[in-house]
Amino acid sequence: MPILRTVFTIIDGDDDKATIAIRSSVDGTVTMDDLESVYAHPAWTSVVNLITGGLLKVTCEVEIDPSGWGDLRTSPSALSDVEEKATFKFQTVQGHEVIMTLPTVDESIFINSGAGKLVDLSNADVLAFIILMTEDLTNNGVDAVDSHGEDISRFIEGKQDFIARKSR
């Protein structure tokens, strides 16, 4: 059964932000439309009387069990490294940039199997990812959007990056 995580971002009198997260199981009768009216709003109604902060935004995340997927990979390659990344730059319909970084990148997606710094646009997996991000790939009404809900419409570039982890 999927798990719903509803996150309320609140603000205090000093403009400091904090979050309140509530996890719950979701049965098969809950629809996307229900998330607001049947769950998120009533949950906030029960929380608001316990706090003095103001509500900034509500985020709902659904955790699903991918164990039935045929292409599930649970063990990393021995050479897998989170510091080796591919950075994809896209643009929304209003011209805003969206940057997505993929850690543990397979270097074969770059020109000359990793010798080049740009993604290889003739690579079928690269093209499938770009189409997923810029078009309604499955014709199911689900489009990739930026943090403001604006449709991502154009691929700008993809390049190889090495981004060292922050010191601990």
One domain, residues 88 and 62: no
Per the structure, the complete domain to which residue 158 belongs is given by 84-162
Domain membership of residue 155 (yes or no) is yes
Same domain, 91 and 152: yes
Based on the number of CB atoms within 10 Å of its own CB, is 139 exposed (0-12), middle (13-18) or buried (19 or more)? exposed
Which segments of 59-158 does DSSP mark as H helices, in order? 124-134
Domain boundary among 11, 33, 66: 66
7 and 62 share a domain?
yes
**pLDDT tens digit at each of 168 positions of the chain:** 678 888 999 999 999 999 999 888 777 777 878 888 878 888 898 898 889 899 999 998 888 878 778 777 777 888 888 888 999 999 999 999 999 999 999 989 999 987 889 999 999 999 999 998 998 655 566 778 888 888 899 999 999 987 776 655
**Has residue 77 been placed in a domain?**
no
Strands of the sheet with 3-11, listed across from one edge:
17-25, 3-11, 54-63
Contact between 40 and 22 under an 8 Å Cβ cutoff? The reply is no
**Domain tally for the chain?**
2
